[in-house]
Amino acid sequence: MDINVEELMSKGIDLTATWGLRVVGVLVVLFLAWVIAGWASRAALKRFQKSSFDETLGRFFSNLIRYAILAATIIGVLGVFGLETTSFAAVIGAAGLAIGLAFQGTLGNFAAGVMLLVFRPFKVGDVVNTAGQLGIVKAIDLFTTDLATLDNRHIIIPNSAIFGSTIENITHYPTRRVDVSVGTAYGADVEATRKVLETVPPKVSKGLKDPAPQIFLASLGASSVDWQIRIWCNTSDYWDVYQQAIELAKKALEASNIAIPFPQVDVHFDDPALQVLSGQKTG
C-alpha cells in the first residue's frame, strides 16, 4: 500500500492551521470574557453600593453576573468545535440530575448560599458565631462566606457548613445585656452586699436605664456567695460596659471592706499521728 507522504503532510498542515487558529481564537475569547466578566462584576457592585442597595445582595448579584457571562461564553465557543448548542437541552437535563446528586458537594454550598440570602440569618457587617468560628461577616459569596475574626484573621467557611449548623447572630439586636459575675465572702451581709453592688450600674457611663439594671443573687458557690450585675447597653458598647462594670464592682467592694474570696480547701487528717504533726490534735 503506497502512502503519499506529501499528501499526509499537507493534510496535517491544513488541520493544524485550521484547528490551531480556532484554539487560539477560543483562548483569546475566553480571556476577554474573563476580563469583561470581572469588569462587569465590579461595575455592578459599585453601582449597587452607590444606590444604597443591600450589600449582601449586591455582592451576590455581582458574582452572578460574572458567572453568567463566563457560562454564556463557554457555551458560545463550543460551536467553534462543531458542537451544536441546541443539544444543550439534554445537557441541562443531565445537569439537573447532577445537582440533585451533588447537594453534599460544591453545588450543595451554592444551594446553601442561596438559602442564606433568602432567609437572611445575618448580613455583611454582623458579628456571628457559626460553624465553630466567631467573626465579622465580610462577604457572602455563592459558595463560601468570609469572616474576619476579632483578632483580624481571615476565615473562609463553606456555606453548607454554616446553613447546617447553629447560627448565633451576636449583633442582630440593637441592645444586649452585660452579665458580670462577682463572688463575695460568706461572712458578708447579704443586704449590705446588695446595696454596695447597686451603686455600680448608675456609674457605668454607657449603661442603659431602660431596661433597668439588676443585682441578682446567682448561687451559693463552694467558696463564695455568687452575684451577677446585669446591665443593658447598646450592642456596640458591650465590651466598654463589661470592663467598666468589673472595675467599678471591685472598687465598690474594696471600699466597703467586703472580701472577694479565692478558692479554699480544708484538709483533715484521720490518722492520729498525722493529726499530731499537723496540729489538729495535741499529744
Q: Tens digits of per-residue pLDDT, 20-37? A: 667 777 788 888 888 898
The CATH number of the structural domain formed by 121-169 is: 2.30.30.60
Secondary structure (3-state) at 178: strand
CATH 3.30.70.100 range(s) for the chain read 177-255
Q: Tens digits of per-residue pLDDT, 70-120? A: 888 887 777 666 656 555 556 666 666 665 665 567 778 888 888 998 889
The x, y and z cell numbers of residue 92, run together, are 441541562
Query: Average pLDDT for residues 272-281, to the nearest whole number?
Result: 58
Query: Average pLDDT for residues 189-204, to the nearest whole number?
Result: 96
Return the CATH fold of 177-255. Alpha-Beta Plaits (3.30.70)
The pLDDT value given to residue 45:
84
CATH 2.30.30.60 range(s) for the chain read 121-169
Q: Which CATH class is domain 18-101?
A: mainly alpha
Cα 44 from Cα 234, distance rounded (Å): 34
Q: How far from 72 is each of 30, 35, 75, 85, CA to CA, in Å?
A: 11, 14, 5, 11
User: At what angle are helices 5-50 and 55-77 packed, to 10 degrees?
Assistant: 160
Secondary structure (3-state) at 4: coil
Beta carbons of 167 and 135 less than 8 angstroms apart: no
CATH 1.10.287.1260 range(s) for the chain read 18-101
Cα 261 from Cα 195, distance rounded (Å): 19
Beta carbons of 141 and 63 less than 8 angstroms apart: yes
Q: What is the DSSP letter of 280?
A: S
Q: Tens digits of per-residue pLDDT, 226-263? A: 999 999 999 999 999 999 999 999 999 999 999 988 77
Q: Does the pLDDT value for residue 283 go beyond 70?
A: no
> Angle at Cα 275 formed by Cα 271 and Cα 280, nearest 5°?
145
